[in-house]
Homo-oligomer: A and B are copies of this chain.
Amino acid sequence: MSGRNFLFVPGPTNVPDRILRAMHRAQEDHRSSAFPALTKGILGDLPKVFGTTKGQAFVLPASGTAMWETAIVNSLSPGDRVLAVRNGQFSHLFVDAAQRLGMQVDIIEVEWGAAISAAQIQSALEADKARAIKAVLVVHNETATGVTSDIAAVRAAMNAAKHAALLLVDGVSSIGSLEFKMDAWGVDFGIAGSQKGFMMPAGLGILCVGPKGLEAVKTATCPRAFFDLRDHITTNATGYFPYTPSLAHLYGLREALDMLLAEGMANVAARHKRLGEGVRRAVAAWKLEACAKDPSTQSDTVTAIVVPAGADAEQVRDIAFKKYNLALGAGLGPLRGRVFRIGHLGDLNELMLLGALAGTEMTLVDAGIPVTLGSGVAAAQAWYRSTAS
């Protein structure tokens, strides 16, 4: 097939050539006297992406989902009760991980497509008179539905309830793309992975732990070995890792941090907001519905689009991929077949998105979904033109 694949799943995202180049390198002795400079630079810069000056960053050769486990086993003890909100496939899997690891999970069920209700969290915490709930588990940006929740409001609810539970936040599809204010929001464990806003291949779990979280690491009694942050705390202090690190990914992360911090995290968030708005305008021009009903919760990193009754979103994905070399995201779990997703995070620009929107339009027509060719593109063009710098 000639030309580039258009990769518009919400992760893995497009890896900039700079980062691919940085990862293409000979291996090194990870116990050499030269090695700590790399480690310390990365771990020193990472907290800036999480919006914290007090937190400590960790990187593990693992997936983003493994960071759920890292956060859980380092903060909790077997049988602990936690409160979680389930409003999409990834919050569902976060709950599932907590349950598998032996936690009792109180679940606030929210319609898939809706955001977290801080009021519900506050009620649940206030009802916990015994203060048995040790942690609140939420997903900042539900990648499955394209919904961004208000974590500052979650923290405010926890404070209003005067509840001391830890706040564990999955920011896999937000950190490095959307505004994330770990300190201001009182996040105790911020969870990320390499393959979204960090613009890298998957394979690196990234975690940031605040002061209260670090205290919890000392007392948590979950059995743990690979994920034991105590080993990282000890070895990272000297610039090393408890096991052979994924050097290629470390060099990639070094480059990604250079790119993100040079742009500035506020600019990164603004860029995602502008690009995402163009996609939303295209969806409106197509007269289709976003899975995220409330516009104020629509994500700047991913848009989940509901296909009309009778249509099959998996067929849309299949046509896009095979006929136009365009990879769209699948509907996950109960949304399978009902939505497809356009990822718009990471290393992207207007023309890449316009090409993807043009391909989506052709695909929709092919799938028998009535949209006017060029209509979504034109709506996005008008927005991008008027907002270009």
Chain A interface residues (CB < 8 Å from chain B): 1-7, 9, 11-15, 17, 20-34, 61-66, 68-69, 78, 96-97, 100-102, 193, 195, 201-204, 222-228, 243-249, 263, 271, 318, 321-327, 329-330, 347-352, 354-356, 358-359, 361-362, 365-366, 372-375, 377-378, 381-382, 384-385, 388-389
Contacts and interface: CB of A to CB of B under 8 A. Distances in A.
21 contacts: A3-B348, A3-B350, A3-B351, A4-B14, A4-B349, A17-B26, A21-B21, A24-B24, A27-B195, A33-B321, A61-B61, A61-B63, A61-B66, A66-B226, A101-B224, A202-B247, A223-B223, A350-B362, A354-B359, A365-B385, A372-B378
A193 B25 CA distance: 19
A133 to B, nearest CB: 20
A310 B6 CA distance: 37
A365 B384 CA distance: 12
B324 A68 contact: no
A262 to B, nearest CB: 11
Number of identical monomers bound together in the oligomeric complex: 4
A323 B33 CA distance: 12
A228 B326 CA distance: 32
B65 A226 contact: yes
Contacts of A355: 351-352, 354-356, 358
B25 A17 contact: yes
Contacts of A358: 351, 354-355, 358, 377, 381
Contact of A64 (B11, B30, B243, B249): B243
Contacts of A388: 323-324, 362
A193 B244 contact: yes
A225 B96 contact: yes
B23 A195 contact: no
A29 B354 contact: no
A62 B201 CA distance: 14
A69 B365 contact: no
B68 A225 contact: yes
Given A3-B348, A243-B65, A381 B385 contact: no
B28 A195 contact: no
A351 B324 contact: yes
